[in-house]
Each structure stands twice: as structure tokens, then as C-alpha cells.
Amino acid sequence: MPSSAVPARRVTAAMVAERAGTSIATVSLVVNGKDRGRVSAPIAARVRDAVDELGYVVDHAASSLARGTGDLVVLIAPDLSNPFFAEVIRGVRDTLGDRYQLVLSVTERGAQPATSDLRRFERLRPAGILVDAPAAGGSLDAAVPVVLLDAPDAPTGAVAVDYDLTSGVAELVAHLRERGHERVAYLDGTARVATFGVRHRLFQEACAAAGITVSELGARADLTVDAAAAATEHALEAWHEDGVTAVVAAADTLAYGVLRVAAATGLRVPEDLAVAGFDDLPSSSVTAPALTSVALPGAELGRAAALRLLAAVDGTAAEPVALPTRLVRRASTGG
């Protein structure tokens, strides 16, 4: 039989009640664990048996309609392909436990989560919504608890978890300084995400403080290796003429593009051009050469966000946080 051709009959609470010789109300109490002191032990046992025998599962639509809210938690993110998110998801899931069911949603290619995405998911009556790297400036309130991840421009009062990039950036700039770089270029992302703005700004400030000049000849690209490679190809000669000896990219993925072009044009990394990124993706240890990067611990971000969502669901307040970051030195900057 085709697995999709013979829809099994849906088992309802009424069927369970009939089999257990009791009422629907009692079934509901038992399956929701609200039977303590409300249902006698023998009846509860009969209900549980019937549930097992019939394979009953509470219908989500009916339940969340009656209750007003369900057990779904939605995580909206711009780009799940970034291995960084696997970590975030793991962190969220671990803290959510199995009282809640996590589902993910990716925005259209390149777009940041916006209010419209939130609206679309409010319909589902989720217990809460997590939004990663929301579009800058959008008002993101909803009829359900919302926690923002990596949203340094979140409006005051919004529940948000962020990275404190100052430590990581300071280490990066000190490292570049140590390696003798005096003139560097910055390869930014094109996405209008606040965290990119912060990375760029902090980097500029730290360079200024350390006496490093950031070349006017910055470039920007979509968050793909190909786009970054194209942007680099375009800018490389100008960088060289401008005396640039190092490129810092707003994300590891962008830095990969720089590495690819360097390899293709015979440029030695780090001797001719040092390269560094942000994220410290797993693959950054196997690029040619291995990539120096400001590590952004994804699982911790996910954990912190989930904790705050749970608090919001319970009506408890939670302080915003900023997680510390650090530099991972590798061959692309001479270790």
C-alpha cells in the first residue's frame, strides 16, 4: 500500500473515552496530566491503556483552539544553511525540552525576518516565537511572546539576546596590530542586519584606537562564497594599490570568498594578504589556509534565547543578555 494513499483514520478523544468507558472530559484530564485528585486511579489507568491501544494523540488544532495557545515554538531565521544555526537550534532545543515542539522557518533568500513573518506564524498560536537577526527597524510585537536573537538594535524593552562583540573584536585588532598590519580592508555583508553594522563599527573603532587605518575601499557582498569571491575579485587590485595587507570579513562565509580569490590569483595568505572573519564555523579549520575568526558561540545564544522565551511564557521577566566572544587565531593571519 502506498504510504500516502491510505490515510489512517484519525483517533479522537471520543474513541478513547468510549473504549475506556468514561467521558471525553476525563480523557482530556488524563492525557494532559491534570488528573491528580480529579480522576480515580483505575479510570485513569483504563484511559491510559486505551490511549496506547488506539495510538491516540491530542489534536493540535483542537487543543490550541480550546486552550488559546499551543505547544509550538517557532524559530524564524534568515539562513539555516549557515552551520552557525545548527548550534543555535541545538541550544534552543536543549533548553526547551519536550514540553514544547520546535519548528523552524527560513525567510526568502537573503531577506531578514520581518513583521510579516511574525504575522504569518502568529496564526499558528505558538507558545512563542524566536526571531534571529530581524530586519533592522521593524516593530516586532505580536500576540505571543517574542524573543529576539542577535538583534543589537532591538527597541528598548524588547526581549533580546546578543553577543558582546567588543572583546572578540579587541582581540582581533590587537592580533592584527601584533602581526604588523597598519592598513586593512573590511568586507561587509549586504544584508541589512544590525549585527553587521555593529561588527563594522566596533572594528573601525578598535582599529582607530590601535592606530590601524581602515581603507576607504571597503566592499560588500551577499553571505555566500560566490558573492564574496566576486566582490573580492573586483576590489583586490585597488586594495593592493592602497597598501592593504589584511582583509577582515563580516562573516566566515565571506572570508572564504577572499581565500578562494587569493588562491586563484596566486596571492599567498597570510604573507601577501591576511584574512579573518566572524563566526568561527566548523569548516573554518579546513580552509586553505585555516581561517582566523571571532568565535560566536551559537548554542549559548540558543540556550539564552530559549530560557527567556520560557520565562516570558510563564509571565516572568528576564533581563536581556550579551554573550562574550573571543578570537580564534589560525594560519590565515599567521596564527
Partner DNA sequence: CTGAAAGCGCTTACAG
C-alpha 132/C-alpha 104 separation (Å) is: 11
Q: Is 90 helix (H, G, I), strand (E, B) or coil?
A: helix
CB of 168 to a copy of itself, least distance (A): 22
Residue 34 found at the interface with DNA (CB under 7 A): yes
Residue 74 found at the interface with a copy of itself (CB under 8 A): yes
Residue listed under C-alpha cell 546578543: 162
Q: How many residues does the chain have?
A: 335
Q: Which of residues 216-235 bind a copy of itself (CB under 8 A)?
A: 224-226
The DSSP string of 34-51 is: --TTTS-HHHHHHHHHHH
CB of 157 to a copy of itself, least distance (A): 4
Q: Which of residues 7-26 bind DNA (CB under 7 A)?
A: 10-14, 22-26
C-alpha 121/C-alpha 75 separation (Å) is: 10
Interface pick for DNA out of 7, 33, 55, 68 (rule CB under 7 A) = 68
Task: Please choose, out of 28-36, 103-111, 131-139, 267-275, the segment that lies near DNA by the rule CB under 7 A.
Answer: 28-36
C-alpha 144/C-alpha 313 separation (Å) is: 8
- Grid cell in block for residue 79: 539562513
Q: Which of residues 19-38 bind a copy of itself (CB under 8 A)?
A: none
C-alpha 133/C-alpha 148 separation (Å) is: 7
C-alpha 278/C-alpha 105 separation (Å) is: 24
CB of 75 to a copy of itself, least distance (A): 9
Q: Which entry of DNA, a copy of itself, none binds 210, CB below 5 to 8 A by partner kind?
A: none
CB of 69 to DNA, least distance (A): 9
Interface pick for a copy of itself out of 21, 110, 137, 155 (rule CB under 8 A) = 155
